[in-house]
Amino acid sequence: MKHKSPVACVHTHLEASLDRWQECHWHLHQMESNYHLPDAFRYSLNAFIRAIADVPELLTKNLERHESARRAIKPRLKELEATSLFSVLKVRRNFIVHQGMLAVQSKGAVYTMEGSKVKLSFPFRVETWESSDDAYERYKDACRNDKFWRGIGPDCDSSPAIVRTWLIPQIPDRDLLAVAFDAWSLVGQLLSEAVIALGGEQLDLTMPCRHEPELVRIKRYSQREFFLSVDGIDLDEEERKWQEEKARRTAAAGDPE
């Protein structure tokens, strides 16, 4: 006779809530990969908020026949629902369900980068409706027409980048992607306590697949393309000419005549 592992049995009792929580994980990565595309990011965010707000209710239903476990997690459930973060997300979830659109805000900046380091940062408006690529095209146009913008732009040792941050008015000082990851972790802690109360092992909440938040917010662009588009200078061609001149001078210096 084949025996099921105790952990597998415990997770079976919480199948609906764990599945919805895993769905949230998927939505988080969609938010990461679509961070610089406004519609795709907003669709992923909406889906995440709807899903994460469902988990506590599904968990309560999952534990209807497990009274001791339900009592054990009740304090944690109340704590979760009382947090300002989850309260905001739940209100936003109800707004999405009944009115269909979530109002988000976007702020941005242009970076001049040397390798992985930011050499210079300056605020630059990135509209909620435009992609980072569209904002970058506006930035290049500003550099073509305004000496100030070109002056703080890339030089021969640096490259351009657009950085943006998504916000909602209710949490004005935090990036929405970071808020979503925190919400996922809080709900995961609740589920983990439920699993433990049913005799299982705590859930892994580390999420090693998460990308570095700062790197998600930055979109880097080609130095060569910038110089060609803005200044009409082909850096590859300039490099070729410089190497030829260097070789000519070296040869001339070694000529005894």
Is 14 domain-assigned?
yes
Map residue 199 onto helix, strand or coil.
Answer: coil
The answer on 116 and 97 residing in a single domain is no
Q: Which amino acid is at 144?
A: R
| One domain for residues 152 and 249 | yes
Query: At residue 239, what are phi and psi to the nearest 5 degrees?
Result: -65, -40
| Axis-axis angle for helices 6-13, 15-33 (nearest 10) | 80
**Do residues 21 and 204 lie in contact, with contact meaning Cβ atoms separated by under 8 Å?**
no
Q: Is 130 contained in some domain?
A: yes
pLDDT at 95: 59
* Residue 54 dihedral angles phi and psi, to the nearest 5°: -80, -25
- Give per-residue pLDDT as tens, 24-65: 999 999 999 999 999 999 889 989 988 998 999 999 999 999
Domain assignment of residue 93, given as a range? 6-103+174-212
Q: Residues with Cβ < 8 Å from 32, sequence gap 6 or more?
A: 177, 210, 211, 216
Let me know whether 58 and 145 are in one domain.
no
Smallest Cα–Cα separation from 94: which of 162, 170, 163, 153?
170
| Bridge partner list, 113 | 118, 159
User: Which pLDDT score is estimated for 168?
Assistant: 85
Q: Do residues 94 and 26 both lie within one domain? A: yes
Written as tens digits, the pLDDT of the chain (257 aa) is 444 455 557 899 999 999 999 999 999 999 999 999 999 998 899 899 889 989 999 999 999 999 999 999 999 999 988 887 888 887 777 655 545 566 788 999 999 999 999 999 999 999 999 999 999 999 999 999 999 999 999 999 999 999 999 998 888 888 999 989 999 999 999 999 999 999 999 999 999 999 999 999 999 999 999 999 999 999 889 888 888 888 888 888 765 55
Same domain, 89 and 112: no
Residue 13 in domain: yes
Shared domain check, 98 and 37? yes
Domain count of the fold of the chain? 2
Residue 7 to residue 196: CA distance in whole angstroms: 10
The per-residue pLDDT for 1 is: 40
Residues 76 and 130 in one domain: no
pLDDT of residue 3: 46
Q: Are residues 23 and 53 in the same domain?
A: yes
157-172 pLDDT per residue, tens? 999 999 999 998 888 8
Dist. CA 224–CA 163, nearest whole Å: 19
CA distances from 98 to 85, 94, 95, 219 (A): 20, 6, 5, 34
**Do residue 36 and residue 55 come from a single domain?**
yes
Q: Are residues 118 and 47 in the same domain?
A: no
In a domain, 119, yes or no: yes
Q: What is the pTM of this model?
A: 0.86
Residue 67 backbone dihedrals phi, psi, to 5 degrees: -60, -45
For residue 162, tell me if it sits in a domain.
Answer: yes
